[in-house]
Amino acid sequence: MKHTHIVIFTIALLSGFTSCAQQKPVEKKTSFPEEEKIELSESEWKSRLTEEEFEILRKKGTEYAFTGKYWNNKKDGVYTCAGCQLPLFDSSTKFRSGTGWPSFYQPINEVNVAEEKDTSYGMVRTEVLCARCGGHLGHVFPDGPKPTNLRYCINSASLNFEEKGAEAKP
């Protein structure tokens, strides 16, 4: 008899948990479409990328501060992924962070930049990656300027730059 009670109680508890989980508000963050993702082997990436791009995008390396090609770039345009050309950041959201890496307060589109928890080097950081090819871009920190208060700290080597109006010229 006692045993039956415990079983019933357990079932009630479990179904209670299930319905709680279902009632939780669904996070409204749409993710990058699976079918559009790019997956290449290590050797395919090696043949596509420069040595530095490979080291950073595919091996999660970091370029030295103030050495990249874009930390001080003030031109208008769009920063795309150096691995797959997906648009990632607009120059209008770039700001002077003083870190020596290109810094942005928001991605061009939330869906294009994926986030992952990174606990390497004894730190807890949020890694940011290209949502299409999985290339390592850099990290995002909660000490950026308004309106987002975020600082996307990105390696120049992970980016290409398409200057606004550059294509329109004859």
- The site for Zn ion (CB under 5 A) is made up of 81, 83-84, 86, 130, 132-133, 135
Contact call for residues 102 and 159 (beta carbons, < 8 A): yes
| Residue 139 Cβ vs Zn ion, minimum distance, rounded to whole Å | 16
The one-character DSSP state at 20 is H
Out of 81, 84, 130, 153, which one is annotated catalytic?
Answer: 153
Contact call for residues 94 and 103 (beta carbons, < 8 A): yes
| Residue 18 Cβ vs Zn ion, minimum distance, rounded to whole Å | 38
Residue 78 bridge partners (DSSP)? 90, 162
Nearest Cα neighbor of 29 from 158, 103, 131, 117 is: 131
Token pair belonging to 51: 């040595």
Query: Given the complex with Zn ion, which of 83 and 107 has the nearer CB atom?
Result: 83
| Residue 3 Cβ vs Zn ion, minimum distance, rounded to whole Å | 57
84 is catalytic: no
Nearest Cα neighbor of 80 from 170, 167, 169, 168 is: 167
Query: Given the complex with Zn ion, which of 115 and 145 has the nearer CB atom?
Result: 115
Query: Given the complex with Zn ion, which of 103 and 160 has the nearer CB atom?
Result: 160
Which residues have a catalytic role annotated? 153
